Amino acid sequence: MARLNDQVGALLQEYADLLLLTGGDAYRARSYEKAARSVAGHAGDLDGLDAKGLQTIPGVGKSTAGKIAEYLGTGRIQALEALRADIPPGVREIMGIPTVGPKKAALIHRELGVSTVDELLDAARTGRLDDLPGLGARTAGNIVRGIQVLRSGAGRSLLDAALALAAEIAAAVRAAPGCERCAHAGSLRRMRESVGDVDILAAAHDSAPLMAALTGLPLTAEVLVGGPTKTSVRTTTGVQVDLRVVPPEDWGAAMVYFTGSKAHNIKLRGRAVKAGLKLSEYGLFDAGDGRRIASRTEEEVYAALGLPWIPPELREDRGEIEAALAGGLPVLVEESDLRGDLHTHTDLTDGLAPLEEMLAAAHARGHAYYAVTDHAPDLSMQRMTDAKMLAQREQLRSQAGRHGRMRLLHGTELNIGPDGGVDWPAAFLAGFDICVASIHSHFGLDRDAQTRRLLRACENPYVHVIGHPATRLLGRRDGIDADWEAVYAACARTGTALEVNGSPERLDLGDERIAAARRHGVRFAIDSDAHAVGHLGNLRYGVATARRGGLTADEVVNTWPLTRLRAFLRAKAR
Protein backbone atom coordinates (compact mmCIF):
# COMPACT_ATOMS: atom_id res chain seq x y z
CA MET A 1 0.00 0.00 0.00
CA ALA A 2 1.33 3.41 -0.87
CA ARG A 3 2.28 5.70 1.97
CA LEU A 4 -0.82 7.24 3.50
CA ASN A 5 0.33 10.75 2.56
CA ASP A 6 0.62 9.67 -1.07
CA GLN A 7 -2.81 8.04 -1.01
CA VAL A 8 -4.41 11.21 0.30
CA GLY A 9 -2.43 13.29 -2.18
CA ALA A 10 -3.74 11.13 -5.02
CA LEU A 11 -7.33 11.52 -3.81
CA LEU A 12 -7.01 15.29 -3.56
CA GLN A 13 -5.50 15.41 -7.04
CA GLU A 14 -8.38 13.31 -8.34
CA TYR A 15 -10.83 15.67 -6.69
CA ALA A 16 -9.12 18.63 -8.36
CA ASP A 17 -9.24 16.92 -11.76
CA LEU A 18 -12.92 16.10 -11.37
CA LEU A 19 -13.67 19.68 -10.36
CA LEU A 20 -12.04 20.87 -13.58
CA LEU A 21 -13.88 18.29 -15.67
CA THR A 22 -17.19 19.39 -14.24
CA GLY A 23 -16.40 23.01 -15.01
CA GLY A 24 -15.79 23.98 -11.42
CA ASP A 25 -13.85 27.05 -10.37
CA ALA A 26 -10.27 26.74 -11.59
CA TYR A 27 -8.86 28.46 -8.51
CA ARG A 28 -10.68 26.04 -6.29
CA ALA A 29 -9.25 23.13 -8.26
CA ARG A 30 -5.80 24.67 -8.02
CA SER A 31 -6.16 24.84 -4.26
CA TYR A 32 -6.77 21.11 -4.11
CA GLU A 33 -3.86 20.48 -6.47
CA LYS A 34 -1.59 22.50 -4.27
CA ALA A 35 -2.84 20.70 -1.18
CA ALA A 36 -2.32 17.36 -2.94
CA ARG A 37 1.34 18.11 -3.62
CA SER A 38 1.84 19.56 -0.20
CA VAL A 39 0.35 16.56 1.59
CA ALA A 40 2.31 14.06 -0.51
CA GLY A 41 5.51 15.98 0.11
CA HIS A 42 4.79 16.50 3.81
CA ALA A 43 7.59 15.03 5.90
CA GLY A 44 5.44 13.93 8.84
CA ASP A 45 2.81 11.20 8.80
CA LEU A 46 -0.82 12.23 8.34
CA ASP A 47 -2.01 9.39 10.52
CA GLY A 48 -2.85 10.69 13.95
CA LEU A 49 -3.35 14.30 12.88
CA ASP A 50 -6.74 15.84 13.62
CA ALA A 51 -8.40 18.54 11.53
CA LYS A 52 -6.48 21.22 13.38
CA GLY A 53 -3.14 19.49 12.97
CA LEU A 54 -3.84 18.94 9.28
CA GLN A 55 -4.30 22.68 8.82
CA THR A 56 -0.68 23.29 9.80
CA ILE A 57 0.28 21.77 6.45
CA PRO A 58 0.74 24.62 3.93
CA GLY A 59 -2.12 24.81 1.45
CA VAL A 60 -4.45 22.79 3.65
CA GLY A 61 -7.29 24.89 5.07
CA LYS A 62 -10.48 24.10 6.85
CA SER A 63 -12.28 22.49 3.94
CA THR A 64 -9.42 20.27 2.74
CA ALA A 65 -8.55 19.30 6.31
CA GLY A 66 -12.16 18.23 6.76
CA LYS A 67 -11.98 15.99 3.70
CA ILE A 68 -8.70 14.45 4.82
CA ALA A 69 -10.04 13.85 8.32
CA GLU A 70 -13.12 12.26 6.80
CA TYR A 71 -10.90 9.93 4.81
CA LEU A 72 -8.76 9.05 7.83
CA GLY A 73 -11.87 8.30 9.83
CA THR A 74 -14.12 6.55 7.32
CA GLY A 75 -11.88 5.64 4.40
CA ARG A 76 -14.09 7.71 2.09
CA ILE A 77 -14.66 11.28 0.94
CA GLN A 78 -18.32 11.90 0.17
CA ALA A 79 -17.74 14.91 -2.06
CA LEU A 80 -15.23 12.96 -4.14
CA GLU A 81 -17.58 10.03 -4.55
CA ALA A 82 -20.35 12.35 -5.69
CA LEU A 83 -18.11 13.68 -8.48
CA ARG A 84 -16.98 10.18 -9.39
CA ALA A 85 -20.60 9.26 -9.96
CA ASP A 86 -20.86 11.98 -12.60
CA ILE A 87 -17.62 11.44 -14.50
CA PRO A 88 -16.53 8.01 -15.78
CA PRO A 89 -12.91 7.22 -14.81
CA GLY A 90 -11.97 7.01 -18.49
CA VAL A 91 -12.66 10.69 -18.94
CA ARG A 92 -10.04 11.56 -16.36
CA GLU A 93 -7.69 9.22 -18.16
CA ILE A 94 -8.41 11.13 -21.38
CA MET A 95 -7.47 14.32 -19.60
CA GLY A 96 -4.04 12.77 -18.97
CA ILE A 97 -3.30 12.52 -22.70
CA PRO A 98 -0.76 15.15 -23.75
CA THR A 99 -2.47 18.12 -25.48
CA VAL A 100 -5.78 17.17 -23.89
CA GLY A 101 -6.83 19.06 -20.79
CA PRO A 102 -10.04 19.26 -18.82
CA LYS A 103 -11.89 21.40 -21.35
CA LYS A 104 -11.30 19.18 -24.34
CA ALA A 105 -11.91 16.00 -22.33
CA ALA A 106 -15.22 17.36 -21.03
CA LEU A 107 -16.26 18.59 -24.48
CA ILE A 108 -15.52 15.27 -26.12
CA HIS A 109 -17.32 13.39 -23.39
CA ARG A 110 -20.34 15.66 -23.45
CA GLU A 111 -20.75 15.98 -27.22
CA LEU A 112 -19.71 12.54 -28.43
CA GLY A 113 -20.39 10.41 -25.37
CA VAL A 114 -16.76 9.29 -25.46
CA SER A 115 -15.73 7.99 -22.04
CA THR A 116 -12.69 5.78 -22.61
CA VAL A 117 -9.32 6.24 -24.29
CA ASP A 118 -10.19 3.50 -26.80
CA GLU A 119 -13.40 5.27 -27.80
CA LEU A 120 -11.43 8.50 -28.18
CA LEU A 121 -8.85 6.83 -30.40
CA ASP A 122 -11.65 5.53 -32.59
CA ALA A 123 -13.35 8.93 -32.71
CA ALA A 124 -10.06 10.62 -33.62
CA ARG A 125 -9.31 8.15 -36.39
CA THR A 126 -12.79 8.27 -37.91
CA GLY A 127 -12.78 12.06 -38.05
CA ARG A 128 -15.62 12.54 -35.58
CA LEU A 129 -13.54 14.95 -33.50
CA ASP A 130 -13.30 17.39 -36.42
CA ASP A 131 -16.98 18.23 -36.07
CA LEU A 132 -16.56 19.63 -32.60
CA PRO A 133 -16.16 23.39 -32.22
CA GLY A 134 -12.53 24.41 -31.85
CA LEU A 135 -11.17 21.00 -32.81
CA GLY A 136 -9.71 20.15 -36.18
CA ALA A 137 -7.70 17.51 -37.99
CA ARG A 138 -4.44 18.56 -36.36
CA THR A 139 -5.94 18.21 -32.91
CA ALA A 140 -7.11 14.70 -33.79
CA GLY A 141 -3.60 13.84 -34.98
CA ASN A 142 -2.05 15.18 -31.79
CA ILE A 143 -4.48 13.13 -29.72
CA VAL A 144 -3.62 9.93 -31.60
CA ARG A 145 0.10 10.59 -31.11
CA GLY A 146 -0.47 11.47 -27.46
CA ILE A 147 -2.28 8.20 -26.87
CA GLN A 148 0.60 6.31 -28.46
CA VAL A 149 3.14 7.99 -26.16
CA LEU A 150 0.95 7.21 -23.19
CA ARG A 151 0.45 3.60 -24.24
CA SER A 152 4.17 2.98 -24.80
CA GLY A 153 4.63 3.47 -21.07
CA ALA A 154 1.30 2.03 -20.00
CA GLY A 155 1.09 -0.79 -17.52
CA ARG A 156 4.56 -0.01 -16.27
CA SER A 157 5.41 1.22 -12.79
CA LEU A 158 8.05 3.80 -12.05
CA LEU A 159 11.03 2.76 -10.00
CA ASP A 160 10.06 4.41 -6.72
CA ALA A 161 6.55 2.96 -6.65
CA ALA A 162 7.74 -0.49 -7.66
CA LEU A 163 10.49 -0.55 -5.04
CA ALA A 164 8.05 0.54 -2.34
CA LEU A 165 5.60 -2.16 -3.38
CA ALA A 166 8.34 -4.79 -3.46
CA ALA A 167 9.56 -3.78 -0.01
CA GLU A 168 6.09 -4.07 1.46
CA ILE A 169 5.45 -7.49 -0.08
CA ALA A 170 8.89 -8.82 0.80
CA ALA A 171 8.38 -7.76 4.41
CA ALA A 172 5.08 -9.63 4.56
CA VAL A 173 6.51 -12.77 2.96
CA ARG A 174 9.58 -12.64 5.20
CA ALA A 175 7.30 -12.66 8.23
CA ALA A 176 5.62 -15.89 7.09
CA PRO A 177 6.58 -19.04 9.01
CA GLY A 178 9.48 -20.94 7.48
CA CYS A 179 10.70 -18.11 5.25
CA GLU A 180 14.49 -18.07 5.30
CA ARG A 181 15.13 -15.31 2.76
CA CYS A 182 13.11 -12.96 0.62
CA ALA A 183 14.14 -10.25 -1.85
CA HIS A 184 13.03 -8.70 -5.11
CA ALA A 185 14.60 -9.81 -8.37
CA GLY A 186 13.83 -9.13 -12.03
CA SER A 187 14.15 -5.84 -13.85
CA LEU A 188 13.41 -4.07 -10.58
CA ARG A 189 16.62 -5.45 -9.06
CA ARG A 190 18.43 -4.32 -12.19
CA MET A 191 16.91 -0.91 -11.43
CA ARG A 192 15.36 -0.34 -14.83
CA GLU A 193 13.66 3.05 -15.11
CA SER A 194 10.24 1.40 -15.15
CA VAL A 195 9.10 -2.16 -14.64
CA GLY A 196 6.23 -4.16 -16.09
CA ASP A 197 5.85 -6.44 -13.09
CA VAL A 198 7.43 -7.05 -9.72
CA ASP A 199 9.36 -10.29 -9.13
CA ILE A 200 9.81 -11.47 -5.56
CA LEU A 201 12.00 -14.44 -4.71
CA ALA A 202 11.84 -16.32 -1.40
CA ALA A 203 13.63 -19.30 0.10
CA ALA A 204 11.75 -21.86 2.20
CA HIS A 205 11.22 -25.60 2.43
CA ASP A 206 7.45 -25.21 2.58
CA SER A 207 6.09 -22.56 0.22
CA ALA A 208 2.45 -22.62 1.32
CA PRO A 209 2.64 -20.11 4.20
CA LEU A 210 4.60 -17.68 2.00
CA MET A 211 2.10 -17.89 -0.85
CA ALA A 212 -0.70 -17.39 1.68
CA ALA A 213 1.06 -14.30 3.01
CA LEU A 214 1.00 -12.76 -0.46
CA THR A 215 -2.56 -13.70 -1.42
CA GLY A 216 -3.82 -12.54 1.97
CA LEU A 217 -2.40 -9.03 1.72
CA PRO A 218 -4.95 -6.19 1.58
CA LEU A 219 -3.23 -4.88 -1.54
CA THR A 220 -3.84 -8.14 -3.40
CA ALA A 221 -6.87 -7.64 -5.60
CA GLU A 222 -6.82 -10.83 -7.63
CA VAL A 223 -4.88 -14.10 -7.67
CA LEU A 224 -3.85 -14.88 -11.25
CA VAL A 225 -1.82 -18.04 -10.67
CA GLY A 226 -1.57 -20.04 -7.47
CA GLY A 227 0.89 -22.91 -7.50
CA PRO A 228 3.46 -24.35 -5.09
CA THR A 229 6.48 -22.67 -6.71
CA LYS A 230 4.90 -19.59 -8.25
CA THR A 231 2.01 -17.37 -7.30
CA SER A 232 1.01 -14.34 -9.35
CA VAL A 233 -1.35 -11.66 -8.16
CA ARG A 234 -2.60 -8.33 -9.39
CA THR A 235 -2.55 -5.55 -6.83
CA THR A 236 -5.26 -3.01 -6.20
CA THR A 237 -3.15 -0.56 -8.22
CA GLY A 238 -3.03 -2.97 -11.17
CA VAL A 239 0.56 -4.16 -10.85
CA GLN A 240 1.32 -7.83 -11.41
CA VAL A 241 3.47 -9.40 -8.70
CA ASP A 242 5.10 -12.82 -9.11
CA LEU A 243 6.30 -14.64 -6.01
CA ARG A 244 8.58 -17.61 -6.52
CA VAL A 245 9.64 -19.85 -3.66
CA VAL A 246 12.75 -22.02 -3.97
CA PRO A 247 14.57 -24.35 -1.58
CA PRO A 248 17.18 -22.39 0.41
CA GLU A 249 20.05 -24.31 -1.17
CA ASP A 250 18.97 -23.05 -4.63
CA TRP A 251 18.83 -19.38 -3.61
CA GLY A 252 21.87 -18.11 -5.50
CA ALA A 253 21.06 -19.83 -8.78
CA ALA A 254 17.42 -18.74 -8.57
CA MET A 255 18.48 -15.18 -7.86
CA VAL A 256 20.71 -15.15 -10.93
CA TYR A 257 17.98 -16.70 -13.03
CA PHE A 258 15.14 -14.43 -11.94
CA THR A 259 17.21 -11.24 -11.92
CA GLY A 260 18.03 -11.69 -15.59
CA SER A 261 18.13 -10.07 -17.98
CA LYS A 262 17.15 -12.78 -20.38
CA ALA A 263 20.07 -11.87 -22.65
CA HIS A 264 22.52 -11.93 -19.73
CA ASN A 265 21.23 -15.37 -18.70
CA ILE A 266 21.49 -16.77 -22.20
CA LYS A 267 25.12 -15.73 -22.33
CA LEU A 268 25.79 -17.27 -18.92
CA ARG A 269 24.16 -20.54 -19.98
CA GLY A 270 26.19 -20.58 -23.19
CA ARG A 271 29.32 -20.21 -21.10
CA ALA A 272 28.18 -23.06 -18.86
CA VAL A 273 27.53 -25.36 -21.81
CA LYS A 274 31.04 -24.74 -23.16
CA ALA A 275 32.44 -25.81 -19.81
CA GLY A 276 30.38 -29.00 -19.79
CA LEU A 277 27.91 -27.55 -17.29
CA LYS A 278 24.21 -26.82 -17.18
CA LEU A 279 22.79 -23.66 -15.59
CA SER A 280 19.18 -23.33 -14.52
CA GLU A 281 17.19 -21.68 -11.76
CA TYR A 282 17.97 -24.75 -9.64
CA GLY A 283 21.73 -24.50 -9.86
CA LEU A 284 24.84 -25.04 -11.88
CA PHE A 285 25.28 -28.77 -12.61
CA ASP A 286 27.75 -31.07 -14.30
CA ALA A 287 26.14 -31.87 -17.65
CA GLY A 288 27.50 -35.43 -17.49
CA ASP A 289 26.69 -36.82 -14.07
CA GLY A 290 24.24 -34.13 -12.95
CA ARG A 291 26.35 -33.32 -9.90
CA ARG A 292 25.56 -29.94 -8.36
CA ILE A 293 28.48 -27.54 -8.75
CA ALA A 294 27.03 -24.34 -7.30
CA SER A 295 23.68 -22.84 -6.32
CA ARG A 296 23.75 -21.46 -2.78
CA THR A 297 24.90 -17.91 -3.50
CA GLU A 298 25.20 -15.75 -6.61
CA GLU A 299 28.92 -15.32 -5.99
CA GLU A 300 29.34 -19.10 -5.98
CA VAL A 301 27.47 -19.49 -9.28
CA TYR A 302 29.41 -16.72 -11.03
CA ALA A 303 32.70 -18.01 -9.64
CA ALA A 304 32.01 -21.52 -10.91
CA LEU A 305 31.57 -19.95 -14.35
CA GLY A 306 34.93 -18.23 -14.00
CA LEU A 307 33.41 -14.81 -13.37
CA PRO A 308 33.36 -12.27 -10.57
CA TRP A 309 29.94 -11.36 -9.18
CA ILE A 310 28.34 -8.86 -11.57
CA PRO A 311 26.23 -6.02 -10.14
CA PRO A 312 22.57 -6.49 -11.18
CA GLU A 313 22.42 -3.04 -12.79
CA LEU A 314 24.93 -4.20 -15.41
CA ARG A 315 23.24 -7.48 -16.30
CA GLU A 316 21.87 -6.41 -19.67
CA ASP A 317 24.35 -8.14 -21.97
CA ARG A 318 25.90 -4.85 -22.94
CA GLY A 319 29.42 -6.19 -22.64
CA GLU A 320 29.49 -6.78 -18.88
CA ILE A 321 30.37 -10.47 -19.15
CA GLU A 322 33.25 -9.73 -21.53
CA ALA A 323 34.41 -6.91 -19.24
CA ALA A 324 34.22 -9.20 -16.21
CA LEU A 325 36.31 -11.84 -17.98
CA ALA A 326 38.92 -9.22 -18.83
CA GLY A 327 38.96 -7.99 -15.24
CA GLY A 328 37.54 -4.67 -16.43
CA LEU A 329 34.21 -4.37 -14.60
CA PRO A 330 33.85 -0.77 -13.38
CA VAL A 331 33.70 -0.19 -9.64
CA LEU A 332 30.27 1.43 -9.76
CA VAL A 333 29.39 4.58 -7.87
CA GLU A 334 27.39 3.99 -4.68
CA GLU A 335 24.98 6.23 -2.84
CA SER A 336 27.42 6.42 0.06
CA ASP A 337 29.99 7.94 -2.31
CA LEU A 338 27.88 11.06 -2.76
CA ARG A 339 28.99 14.01 -0.66
CA GLY A 340 26.32 16.45 -1.70
CA ASP A 341 23.38 17.43 -3.85
CA LEU A 342 23.74 20.12 -6.52
CA HIS A 343 20.15 20.65 -7.73
CA THR A 344 17.39 21.38 -5.20
CA HIS A 345 14.50 23.79 -4.74
CA THR A 346 12.74 25.64 -1.94
CA ASP A 347 9.36 27.32 -1.62
CA LEU A 348 10.92 30.49 -3.01
CA THR A 349 9.96 28.99 -6.38
CA ASP A 350 8.09 25.74 -6.91
CA GLY A 351 9.47 23.76 -3.98
CA LEU A 352 7.24 22.92 -1.05
CA ALA A 353 9.54 23.43 1.93
CA PRO A 354 11.24 26.58 3.21
CA LEU A 355 15.00 26.90 2.99
CA GLU A 356 15.66 26.01 6.64
CA GLU A 357 13.69 22.77 6.40
CA MET A 358 15.47 21.67 3.26
CA LEU A 359 18.85 22.45 4.84
CA ALA A 360 18.02 20.59 8.04
CA ALA A 361 16.87 17.55 6.09
CA ALA A 362 19.93 17.66 3.85
CA HIS A 363 22.15 17.83 6.91
CA ALA A 364 20.34 14.86 8.43
CA ARG A 365 21.23 12.91 5.29
CA GLY A 366 24.88 13.55 6.07
CA HIS A 367 25.73 15.76 3.10
CA ALA A 368 29.07 17.55 3.23
CA TYR A 369 27.76 20.25 0.88
CA TYR A 370 24.43 21.27 -0.52
CA ALA A 371 23.39 23.60 -3.31
CA VAL A 372 20.11 25.50 -3.35
CA THR A 373 19.16 26.10 -6.99
CA ASP A 374 15.79 27.76 -7.31
CA HIS A 375 14.38 28.72 -10.69
CA ALA A 376 15.45 31.89 -12.47
CA PRO A 377 13.19 34.64 -13.92
CA ASP A 378 12.79 33.33 -17.46
CA LEU A 379 10.44 30.69 -16.10
CA SER A 380 8.07 33.54 -15.49
CA MET A 381 5.49 31.50 -13.61
CA GLN A 382 8.00 31.24 -10.78
CA ARG A 383 8.11 35.03 -10.38
CA MET A 384 11.77 35.16 -9.58
CA THR A 385 13.45 38.55 -9.30
CA ASP A 386 17.01 39.72 -8.75
CA ALA A 387 16.02 41.01 -5.34
CA LYS A 388 14.44 37.72 -4.25
CA MET A 389 17.47 35.77 -5.37
CA LEU A 390 19.88 38.09 -3.56
CA ALA A 391 17.75 37.96 -0.43
CA GLN A 392 17.88 34.17 -0.56
CA ARG A 393 21.65 34.35 -0.87
CA GLU A 394 21.79 36.47 2.28
CA GLN A 395 19.48 34.04 4.04
CA LEU A 396 21.66 31.13 2.96
CA ARG A 397 24.84 32.85 4.12
CA SER A 398 23.23 33.48 7.47
CA GLN A 399 22.57 29.75 7.76
CA ALA A 400 26.25 28.90 7.39
CA GLY A 401 27.47 26.91 10.35
CA ARG A 402 23.97 26.12 11.58
CA HIS A 403 23.91 22.72 9.95
CA GLY A 404 26.99 21.07 11.34
CA ARG A 405 29.86 21.01 8.92
CA MET A 406 27.64 20.99 5.84
CA ARG A 407 28.77 23.71 3.45
CA LEU A 408 26.13 25.68 1.58
CA LEU A 409 26.30 26.65 -2.07
CA HIS A 410 24.06 29.29 -3.57
CA GLY A 411 23.00 28.36 -7.04
CA THR A 412 20.16 28.57 -9.51
CA GLU A 413 18.47 26.47 -12.15
CA LEU A 414 18.63 28.60 -15.27
CA ASN A 415 16.28 28.18 -18.19
CA ILE A 416 17.89 27.40 -21.53
CA GLY A 417 15.91 29.44 -24.06
CA PRO A 418 15.22 28.30 -27.63
CA ASP A 419 18.44 29.96 -28.83
CA GLY A 420 20.56 28.56 -26.01
CA GLY A 421 20.64 31.77 -23.98
CA VAL A 422 19.95 31.78 -20.25
CA ASP A 423 18.43 34.13 -17.68
CA TRP A 424 20.56 37.00 -16.37
CA PRO A 425 23.69 38.69 -17.72
CA ALA A 426 27.18 37.47 -16.90
CA ALA A 427 27.70 39.91 -14.04
CA PHE A 428 24.74 38.51 -12.13
CA LEU A 429 25.56 34.89 -12.97
CA ALA A 430 29.07 35.40 -11.60
CA GLY A 431 27.56 35.81 -8.14
CA PHE A 432 26.41 32.20 -7.94
CA ASP A 433 28.49 29.33 -6.62
CA ILE A 434 26.90 26.97 -9.14
CA CYS A 435 24.50 27.22 -12.07
CA VAL A 436 22.45 24.31 -13.38
CA ALA A 437 20.86 25.08 -16.75
CA SER A 438 17.90 23.14 -18.09
CA ILE A 439 15.42 23.09 -20.95
CA HIS A 440 11.82 23.64 -19.86
CA SER A 441 10.03 24.48 -23.09
CA HIS A 442 10.27 24.45 -26.89
CA PHE A 443 10.59 20.68 -26.90
CA GLY A 444 9.51 20.51 -30.54
CA LEU A 445 12.50 22.29 -32.13
CA ASP A 446 14.30 20.20 -34.73
CA ARG A 447 17.48 18.29 -34.11
CA ASP A 448 19.86 20.98 -35.37
CA ALA A 449 18.19 23.70 -33.36
CA GLN A 450 18.20 21.62 -30.16
CA THR A 451 21.85 20.73 -30.68
CA ARG A 452 22.86 24.37 -31.24
CA ARG A 453 20.83 25.31 -28.19
CA LEU A 454 22.57 22.79 -25.90
CA LEU A 455 26.00 23.58 -27.33
CA ARG A 456 25.54 27.27 -26.65
CA ALA A 457 24.54 26.51 -23.08
CA CYS A 458 27.68 24.39 -22.67
CA GLU A 459 29.82 27.23 -24.00
CA ASN A 460 28.41 29.61 -21.39
CA PRO A 461 31.20 30.08 -18.84
CA TYR A 462 28.70 30.28 -15.99
CA VAL A 463 26.79 27.09 -16.78
CA HIS A 464 28.28 24.25 -14.76
CA VAL A 465 25.68 21.51 -15.13
CA ILE A 466 23.09 20.73 -17.81
CA GLY A 467 20.01 19.68 -15.84
CA HIS A 468 17.74 16.81 -16.99
CA PRO A 469 19.38 17.03 -20.43
CA ALA A 470 16.90 15.03 -22.51
CA THR A 471 13.84 16.56 -20.77
CA ARG A 472 11.90 13.30 -20.95
CA LEU A 473 9.09 12.45 -18.56
CA LEU A 474 8.82 8.69 -18.22
CA GLY A 475 5.64 7.35 -19.77
CA ARG A 476 4.42 10.85 -20.57
CA ARG A 477 6.84 12.67 -22.81
CA ASP A 478 9.69 11.63 -25.05
CA GLY A 479 12.77 13.77 -24.70
CA ILE A 480 14.06 16.24 -27.25
CA ASP A 481 15.90 15.23 -30.39
CA ALA A 482 19.54 16.34 -30.57
CA ASP A 483 22.92 15.25 -31.88
CA TRP A 484 23.90 13.80 -28.54
CA GLU A 485 27.40 12.82 -29.56
CA ALA A 486 28.05 16.49 -30.35
CA VAL A 487 26.58 17.49 -26.99
CA TYR A 488 28.78 14.99 -25.09
CA ALA A 489 31.86 16.22 -26.94
CA ALA A 490 30.98 19.83 -26.06
CA CYS A 491 30.46 18.93 -22.39
CA ALA A 492 33.82 17.19 -22.24
CA ARG A 493 35.57 20.07 -24.02
CA THR A 494 34.02 22.86 -21.95
CA GLY A 495 34.06 21.10 -18.58
CA THR A 496 30.28 21.11 -18.28
CA ALA A 497 28.77 18.28 -16.25
CA LEU A 498 25.72 16.39 -17.41
CA GLU A 499 23.10 15.74 -14.79
CA VAL A 500 21.72 12.36 -13.86
CA ASN A 501 18.44 13.64 -12.47
CA GLY A 502 17.19 11.28 -9.78
CA SER A 503 13.52 12.20 -9.93
CA PRO A 504 11.78 8.86 -10.62
CA GLU A 505 9.70 10.60 -13.29
CA ARG A 506 12.79 11.70 -15.18
CA LEU A 507 15.93 9.58 -14.61
CA ASP A 508 17.56 11.85 -17.13
CA LEU A 509 20.13 11.26 -18.58
CA GLY A 510 19.12 7.65 -18.97
CA ASP A 511 21.46 4.69 -18.69
CA GLU A 512 22.38 4.25 -22.35
CA ARG A 513 23.13 7.92 -22.89
CA ILE A 514 25.26 7.95 -19.74
CA ALA A 515 27.29 5.08 -21.14
CA ALA A 516 27.72 6.95 -24.43
CA ALA A 517 28.63 10.25 -22.75
CA ARG A 518 31.24 8.72 -20.47
CA ARG A 519 33.14 7.49 -23.51
CA HIS A 520 33.77 11.18 -24.27
CA GLY A 521 35.18 11.74 -20.80
CA VAL A 522 32.19 13.74 -19.59
CA ARG A 523 31.70 14.43 -15.87
CA PHE A 524 28.31 13.90 -14.26
CA ALA A 525 26.30 15.29 -11.36
CA ILE A 526 23.80 12.97 -9.67
CA ASP A 527 21.09 15.22 -8.28
CA SER A 528 17.77 14.83 -6.48
CA ASP A 529 16.05 17.87 -8.06
CA ALA A 530 14.18 17.84 -4.74
CA HIS A 531 11.09 20.01 -4.54
CA ALA A 532 10.27 18.71 -1.06
CA VAL A 533 12.09 17.20 1.91
CA GLY A 534 10.90 13.74 0.89
CA HIS A 535 12.50 14.09 -2.54
CA LEU A 536 16.04 14.38 -1.19
CA GLY A 537 16.11 10.57 -1.23
CA ASN A 538 15.69 10.62 -5.03
CA LEU A 539 19.48 10.45 -5.16
CA ARG A 540 19.01 6.71 -4.72
CA TYR A 541 17.36 6.42 -8.14
CA GLY A 542 19.90 8.71 -9.74
CA VAL A 543 22.70 6.51 -8.40
CA ALA A 544 20.94 3.41 -9.73
CA THR A 545 20.66 4.97 -13.18
CA ALA A 546 24.30 6.08 -13.07
CA ARG A 547 25.30 2.52 -12.14
CA ARG A 548 23.32 1.17 -15.09
CA GLY A 549 25.34 3.56 -17.23
CA GLY A 550 28.55 2.14 -15.76
CA LEU A 551 29.66 5.24 -13.84
CA THR A 552 32.42 5.11 -11.26
CA ALA A 553 32.57 7.52 -8.33
CA ASP A 554 35.39 9.53 -9.85
CA GLU A 555 33.26 10.44 -12.87
CA VAL A 556 30.62 12.02 -10.61
CA VAL A 557 31.56 15.52 -9.46
CA ASN A 558 29.41 15.42 -6.33
CA THR A 559 31.39 12.49 -4.94
CA TRP A 560 34.40 14.81 -4.87
CA PRO A 561 35.56 16.75 -1.82
CA LEU A 562 34.34 20.35 -1.90
CA THR A 563 37.76 21.75 -2.77
CA ARG A 564 37.97 19.60 -5.90
CA LEU A 565 34.38 20.41 -6.81
CA ARG A 566 35.04 24.14 -6.42
CA ALA A 567 38.10 23.87 -8.64
CA PHE A 568 35.93 22.18 -11.28
CA LEU A 569 33.35 24.99 -11.07
CA ARG A 570 35.99 27.70 -11.20
CA ALA A 571 37.76 26.17 -14.18
CA LYS A 572 34.65 26.78 -16.28
CA ALA A 573 34.74 30.57 -16.00
CA ARG A 574 38.38 30.87 -16.95
**Residue numbers at the binding site for DNA (CB under 7 A):** 25, 27-28, 30-32, 35, 55, 58-65, 98-105, 133-140, 142, 379-383, 418, 440-442, 444, 473, 477
Phi, psi of 450 (to 5 degrees): -65, -40
Q: Rounded to whole angstroms, what are the CA distances from 72 to 60, 164, 165, 220?
A: 15, 21, 21, 21
Min CB(137)–DNA separation in Å:
5
Instruction: Count other Cβ atoms within 10 Å, centred on residue 121.
Output: 18
Cβ proximity to DNA: between 65 and 202 the closer is 65
- Name 55's Cβ contacts closer than 8 Å, sequence gap at least 6: 61, 62, 65
CA distance 267 to 247: 25
Three-state SS sequence of 218-283: CCEEEEEEECCCEEEEEECCCCEEEEEEECHHHHHHHHHHHHCCHHHHHHHHHHHHHCCEEEECCE
- Residue closer to DNA (CB basis): 36 or 195: 36
DSSP 8-state symbol, 409: E
Residue nearer to DNA on the CB measure, 140 or 183 = 140
At its nearest, how many Å lie between DNA and the CB of residue 382? 6
Q: Smallest distance, Å, CB 312 to DNA?
A: 32
Which one, 182 or 533, has the nearer CB to DNA?
Answer: 533
Residue 111 Cβ vs DNA, minimum distance, rounded to whole Å: 12
Contact 465, 434 (CB under 8 A): yes
Q: Which is nearer to DNA, 45 or 446 (CB)?
A: 446
Q: How far is the CB of 55 from DNA (least distance, A)?
A: 6
Task: Find the length of the chain.
Answer: 574
Q: What is the closest distance, in whole angstroms, from the C-beta atom of residue 81 to DNA in the complex? A: 15
Nearer to DNA, 94 or 195 (CB): 94
The closest alpha carbon to 455, from 424, 484, 413, 425, belongs to 484
One-letter identity of residue 285: F
**Residue 28 beta carbon to DNA: minimum distance, rounded to whole angstroms:** 4
Cβ proximity of 197 and 241 under 8 Å: yes
- CB contact burial 14-23 (16+ within 10 A = b; e otherwise): bbbbbbbbee
- In terms of C-beta density within 10 A (0-12 exposed, 13-18 middle, 19 or more buried), how is residue 380 classed? exposed
37 contacts 64 by C-beta, under 8 angstroms: no
Nearest approach, Cβ of residue 139 and DNA (Å) = 4
Residue with Cβ nearer DNA (365 or 476): 476
- CB 399, min distance to DNA, A: 19
Choice between 30 and 234, CB closer to DNA: 30
Closer of 58 and 330 to DNA (Cβ): 58
Burial 541-560 (b: 16+ CB within 10 A, else e): bbbbbbbbbbbebebbbbbb
